Amino acid sequence: MIPFSDRMEKVTGSAIREIFSLLARPGMISFAGGNPNPETFPSKDVAEITAGLMESAGDRVLQYGATPGTASLRESVCEMVGRKGISASPDDVLILTGSTQGMDLVTKTFLNDGDVILTEGPTFLGALQTFRTYRVEPIGVAVDDDGMVMEDLEEKLIATKAKVIYTIPTFQNPTGRTLPLERRKRMLELAKKYGALIMEDDPYSDLRYSGAPVPTIRSLDDLGDTVIYLGSFSKVISPGLRVGFAIADGKIVRKLIIAKQGTDLHTSNLSQAIVDKYIRLGKLYPHIEECRSFYVRQRDAMLDAIKKYLPKNLRYTQPDGGIFIWASMAEGEQAIELFKKSVEACVAFVPGEYFYPDLSGKNTFRLNFSMCSPETIDEGIKRLGQLM
C-alpha cells in the first residue's frame, strides 16, 4: 500500500464522530453531539421553496456557478450582518460550503507548515483537526469564566509570533462562554499590535436566550483588515444545506476565492438559492425566534437537572445561549473514566480533553442539550449523577 502523506499520517478522526458509533445502542441518551434539533428544521418551507425554484429557475440553480457565491445571497448576507453592526459590501462576502470550509481556506491561505495558530483552550474539535491537517500547530490560550484571558494571549503572541488567532467569542464551543466587550476590544488591539489576523467563528450568536447581545469583534474592526468573520446557516435553518459565509477585507476575500476554486469550485447553487429565498420571504427571523423558544427549554431543563442530580462540587457554565454546557470535576478526576461507565448506563457525553490542543483538561466534559427533550435530559442527567 502507498503510504499516506506526511500531512495526513498523524491526523486522527474526530473523537465525537467515534463516539457517534456508540449512539445506536437501544435506550442511549446522547449529550455528545452538537447537532441542531430536527424539530427546528423548516422542512415544509424548504420543500415549497425548492419546488418553486425547480419550476422557475431550475436551469440556473442546477448549473455551475460563480466561486464567490450568488450575488443575491451575498446581498442578503450583507443585510443580515448589518443587524449585528457589521458593515460589508457583497465584494467582502464569500459564500462557503459550511463555515468549517472558512477555517480550511484561511489556514490554507495564510499559514505554512510549522506555523502556530492561537485558540481558546479548549476549542472546537473540528477546527483543531483542520489546523493539524495543514501541519499548523494549535496552541491553547488560557481561559477563565469570561473566556480567553488577554494577558496570556499577549504572552503567547510574543512567544510564538502567531499569525492567526482563532476564537468563538459568543456561546463558545465547547464551553458556552461569551467573551465580554472589553476583552473583545483588547483582542483586536493585540492583533493589530502584533500583526495577527483574528478568525472570528460565530455560528451560535443568534441562539441567545438571556442577557444582552455583545458586539462582534468584526464590528469593532474599523478598517476591516484584521478580522475574518465566519457565519453559518446550519444552526438557524439547516446544517444539511451546507451554507456558510466569510466576511473579510476585499483583498483577503479575493485570495480565499482562489483557494476555494481548488476545493469545490463553488457552494451548491440550489442550497444558496434556498437560503436566499428563505431570507427574502421574511422567514428567517421569525424562525430564529422559534428556535430560541425551543432550545431555552432544553437549556433550562439541563441546568435544573445538573443542580438537582450532579455533585455540588461540580463547576459548570450557565450559558446565555448556544447549545453547550461545560463541566469541570475536581482536579485529578478523569472524565474519560466517567465516560466509560456512562456509556454502559446508556448516557453519552464528550470528555473535555479532546477539545484542548495539548489534551489537558482531563477532568472536564461537554454536555449538549439541543437534541433531547426536557424529560430525556432529566433522565440522562439523573443517570449521570448516580454514576458520579
pLDDT in tens, 123-154: 999 999 999 999 999 999 999 999 999 999 99
If you average pLDDT over residues 143-170, what whole number do you get? 98
Q: How far is CA 107 from the centre of its chain?
A: 16
pLDDT at 10: 63
pLDDT at 20: 67
- Confidence tier at 1 by pLDDT (50, 70, 90): confident
Over residues 16-44, the pLDDT tens digits come to 666 666 667 788 999 998 999 999 999 99
Gyration radius of the chain over CA positions: 21
What's the mean per-residue pLDDT of the chain? 95
- Domains plus CATH for the chain? 6-42+288-387 (3.90.1150.10), 44-280 (3.40.640.10)
Q: Quick check: bond before 3 cis, omega within 30?
A: no
pLDDT at 5: 80
What pTM did the predictor assign?
0.96
Over residues 73-94, the pLDDT tens digits come to 999 999 999 999 999 999 999 9
- Confidence tier at 9 by pLDDT (50, 70, 90): low
> In the sheet that 315-316 helps form, which strands lie side by side, from edge to edge?
315-316, 324-328, 364-368, 350-351
Cα distance between residue 385 and residue 144, in whole Å? 25
- Confidence tier at 162 by pLDDT (50, 70, 90): very high
Cα distance between residue 206 and residue 233, in whole Å? 10
pLDDT at 15: 60
pLDDT of 339 over the 70 cut: yes
- Confidence tier at 2 by pLDDT (50, 70, 90): confident
- Helix ranges (H only) for the chain are 6-9, 15-20, 43-61, 71-82, 99-110, 125-133, 150-160, 181-194, 217-220, 250-261, 269-280, 284-309, 335-344, 374-387
Q: Which residue in this structure is represented by grid cell 423558544?
A: 293
Whether 241 and 45 have beta carbons less than 8 Å apart is answered as no
pLDDT at 26: 83
DSSP 318: -
163 three-class SS: coil
The continuous run of DSSP H or E covering 229 comes out as strand 227-232
Q: Give me the helix-helix angle, 284-309 and 374-387, nearest 10°.
A: 30
